Amino acid sequence: MTEPRIPADPEAVPGMDSALPPVAEAAVSSHTPRSARDWALRLSPILALAALVILAFAMGWNKYLSMEMLREHGLNLQAFAAEQFLLALIIFIAVYALATASTIPGPVFLTLLGGMMFGPLVGALAQATGATLGSIAIYMLYRSAIGTWLRAKFEADAGMMHKIATGIDRNAFVTLLTLRLIPSVPFVLINATAGMVAAPLRPYIAATFLGLLPSTYIYTWIGSGLGDLLQQGVQPDLNMLVSKFFWPLMGVAFLSILLPLMIKGGQAWYKRRQKRMA
């Protein structure tokens, strides 16, 4: 049975007060965990993810995602990609997806490595694919753990919570794409929030993949030049990369500001056009 939706603006409906109708209360209660055991079952995937992150740091796996790893093994990995392109590509995408899903710091170094191994274009596409797969895992984890309960609560809420949920329903792609293009918004936070409000999956996937491409291409382009530096005996570090590729990095910052404004402007223009045609 389809759960009832409460209008986003209760004041727009004559005679509607702020109290929740009994059917809406039933929708919330049907998804609300009724015991500590229910809560434990719902939160177990999130707790498992937290345990994985703790294990990764305890075992020192995060140290493999660093500039030191690039300096020591970059040329060997580049040669491996040249000899076994498809296998190297599959492994890279899988590793990037796991790194994204586990929220272990270090994807920026993997992005540079992707550019070094596959070049800027293929590296950017591979990174965006791996990051999208990893973000889907986080999205599904939060959605299955507490997303159903929160979504039912949003549906029954006559205030801001409901407006947030319905806003994502109506403009999920634009909203998520804009967030993906803003570097200051944590990547994992978008994944978790989209899952918790049960954002539609297809727009989420498309917005994630496309939103990653502009900045990813810049970083993989930077990474594509690391091989030459290593062959010359230069030991690159982050300070060197920032100074050497200052303007491309400024391009990333410029795109992060310009593209969301262009999207919002295009959306506003489309709405005005639709009103004139109505």
Q: Structural domain of residue 131, as residue ranges? A: 41-277
Average pLDDT over residues 32-38: 59
Is-contact 116 226, C-beta < 8 A? yes
Three-class secondary structure assignment of 129-174: HHHHHHHHHHHHHHHHHHHHHHHHHHHHCCCHHHHHHHHHHHHHHH
Is-contact 117 227, C-beta < 8 A? no
Domains of the chain: total: 1
Residue 22 is assigned to a structural domain of this protein = no
Least confident of 14-23, 30-39, 105-114: 14-23
Residue 75 is assigned to a structural domain of this protein = yes
pLDDT digit string (tens) for 101-157? Answer: 877 766 778 888 899 899 999 999 999 999 999 999 888 887 876 666 666 666 666
Average pLDDT over residues 12-22: 41
Closest CA to 227 of 140, 146, 112, 145: 112
pLDDT digit string (tens) for 257-266? Answer: 676 667 667 7
User: Which residues, 6+ apart, have CB-to-CB distance to 32 below 8 Å?
Assistant: 149, 152, 153
Residue 30 is assigned to a structural domain of this protein = no
Radius of gyration, alpha carbons of the chain: 22
Average pLDDT over residues 243-253: 66
Residue 58 is assigned to a structural domain of this protein = yes
Tokens at 211, concatenated = 């939103």
Residue 71 is assigned to a structural domain of this protein = yes
Residue 73 is assigned to a structural domain of this protein = yes
Q: What's the pTM?
A: 0.69
Residue 183 is assigned to a structural domain of this protein = yes
Q: Which residue has the higher pLDDT, 149 or 11?
A: 149
Q: Report pLDDT for 72.
A: 80
Closest CA to 46 of 172, 155, 188, 168: 188
Residue with tokens 């994807």: 107
Q: Report pLDDT for 172.
A: 83
Helices (H), the chain: 22-31, 36-59, 67-83, 85-101, 107-118, 120-142, 148-156, 160-180, 187-196, 201-224, 226-231, 238-244, 246-277
Q: Is the pLDDT of residue 209 over 90?
A: yes
What is the dihedral sign for C-alpha 211, 215, 218, 222?
Answer: negative
Residue 56 is assigned to a structural domain of this protein = yes
